[in-house]
Amino acid sequence: MPSAYTRLTSRFQRLSRFGHLSAIAGWDMMTMMSPGGSRARGEALAELSVLQHQILTSPETAVDLVQAKQESLSDDEWVNLAEMERAWQQAVILPARLVEAKSVAGSRCENAWRSQRPANDWKGFAENLKEVVYLSRQEAEIRAQNAGVSRYDALLDIYEPGMTSCQLDTIFSDIKSWLPDLLQRVITHQSEQSIQQPQGPFTIENQRHLGLKAMETLGFDFDAGRLDVSAHPFCGGVPQDVRITTRYDQQNFLSALMGVIHETGHARYEQNLPTQWPGQPIALARSTAIHESQSLFFEMQLGRSPAFLARILPEVINHLGVQPALTQQNFIRLAQRVEPGLIRVNADEVSYPAHIILRYEIERALIESEIEVEDIPALWQEKMERLLGMDTTGNYRNGCMQDIHWTDGAFGYFPTYTLGAMYAAQLFQALGRTLPDVEQLIADGDLQPVFIWLQENIWHHGSRFSTRELITRASGEDLNPRWFRQHLESRYLAD
């Protein structure tokens, strides 16, 4: 008779195999599937998701979780058990009718949004969003009561275990105190530099080969993954078979190139997760913010650094041809251009946090019932004005209707983008203490020591440590926004 712990590991391995099929079918839906297949695919994936929920929340799981605590377990097994319990708890706590209602309301809101956004139809969108908010508040309330925290913190914990709005408030008010001024100085500084735009078109085929070359340089394992195209870039698949995507703009090759570098960061984390606990929660990536820290480490810390840009420029020219804009100095200026805009996904790393803080403040107030859906546009306008000095009055399409996150109730997700940026800066700073010659290594194209450091400090730990412990072991301290500020100042104001 296997122990309760062993029974749990079998059950989670089984769940992970079903998760594999769901990940591949999900990737296929975004990259390969013809539109006519969407209804049947939706039904198949929903059926699988019901099954996964049933396995996770079965009475046997509950009994085994209690019983396993009486068994003699190794340290790693305790950690794994705690992660199992966390997954179980998150699933078991919501009544089935709420899960179902949220899923239906989310799909309806998202489907309508696809046409409402281009039509700038805020009124129509708000109607559906109200239902999503109503149900998300219910979800948050149930989770909050169970965890003894605030509603918003309960949702935040889904994506970023251990993070609280109290900590976020401290961090974000720090950022708000210096960001608008820093942004102004960077813009003034850059306005004194001349910059030349590259002349497209750059064919998709050439851009694709350049992207593959960058992935190779960055150590992507092509035996365990691939690059494709989707409307919204993502990193999907499973650790043994990571599927990253990009989209190509024939006029702007930097967008796909930097996107590929970003997703390669996500991919290398997945490809290098620990293999000694197959299918177990302890072997998964730590959190959404730590995941984003790896992509932003690749894109922002490494990818847009002068040393890396200088190193990859010959490949760019090799694939896209010589042109006046592709001098080293101009190429670096292009990749480091700061230009506040309305759209979050197009934002540079200096203005990005403003987009996140704005969304965080609104979504938190929304979940805590301090504001209602009707209040969003005015708040959006006020905060955009204050943080980025931009006017979005009446421009819902490129204002509060631009993102997909709220349409299906993913409240609590936005802060992880900026947490990721701060973790990335802090990790790069810590790496620099271990490898003082890191810039030279990058310039020489000798990235192996960098990857080994990430592997030893982040990737191969999986979920072995809490985020706080992971980051403290790697960098000597808990999250400290100072390194992010220092990174921005030294990159954008030093010369």
Could you tell me which residues are annotated as the binding site for Zn(2+)? 262, 266, 292
Subset of residues 220 to 239 that bind its own copies, contact rule: CB under 8 A: 221-226, 237-238
Is 249 within 8 Å of 260 (Cβ atoms)?
Answer: no
Which has the closest alpha carbon to 253: 328, 194, 338, 325? 325
- Indicate the SS3 state at residue 228: strand
Residue 295 site contact among Zn ion, its own copies, none (CB < 5 to 8 Å, cut-off depends on kind)? Zn ion
Closest CB to its own copies among 183 and 238? 238
Closest CB to its own copies among 241 and 292? 241
For residue 378, what are the contacts with CB-CB under 8 A and spacing of at least 6? none
- 370 catalytic, yes or no? no
CB of 306 vs Zn ion, minimal distance in Å: 23
Give the DSSP per-residue string, 103-149: HHHHHHHHHHHHHHTTTT-HHHHHHHHHHHHHHHHHHHHHHHHHHTS
**Contact pick of 3, 6, 20, 307 for its own copies (by CB under 8 A):** 20
Closest CB to Zn ion among 290 and 431? 290
- Catalytic: which of 77, 139, 263, 270? 263
Residue 238 site contact among its own copies, Zn ion, none (CB < 5 to 8 Å, cut-off depends on kind)? its own copies
Which has the closest alpha carbon to 372: 359, 362, 383, 380? 362
- How far is residue 13's CA from residue 5's CA, in Å, rounded to a whole number? 12
**Contact pick of 3, 28, 57, 315 for its own copies (by CB under 8 A):** 28
- How far is residue 219's CA from residue 383's CA, in Å, rounded to a whole number? 40
- Indicate the SS3 state at residue 174: helix
Based on DSSP, count helices (H) and strands (E) in the chain, helices before strands: 20, 3
Segment interacting with its own copies, rule: CB under 8 A, options 42-50, 77-85, 450-458, 465-473: 42-50
CB of 269 vs its own copies, minimal distance in Å: 16
* Distances in whole angstroms, Cα of residue 58 to Cα of each of 128, 223, 261, 278: 33, 37, 41, 21
Residue 34 site contact among Zn ion, its own copies, none (CB < 5 to 8 Å, cut-off depends on kind)? its own copies
Confirm or reject binding of residue 392 to Zn ion (CB under 5 A).
no
- Indicate the SS3 state at residue 69: coil
Subset of residues 48 to 67 that bind its own copies, contact rule: CB under 8 A: 48, 51
Q: Can you give the binding site for its own copies, defined by CB under 8 A?
A: 14, 17-18, 20-22, 24-25, 28, 32-37, 39-41, 43-45, 47-48, 51, 221-226, 237-238, 240-241
Q: Can you give the binding site for Zn ion, defined by CB under 5 A?
A: 292, 295
Catalytic residues: 263
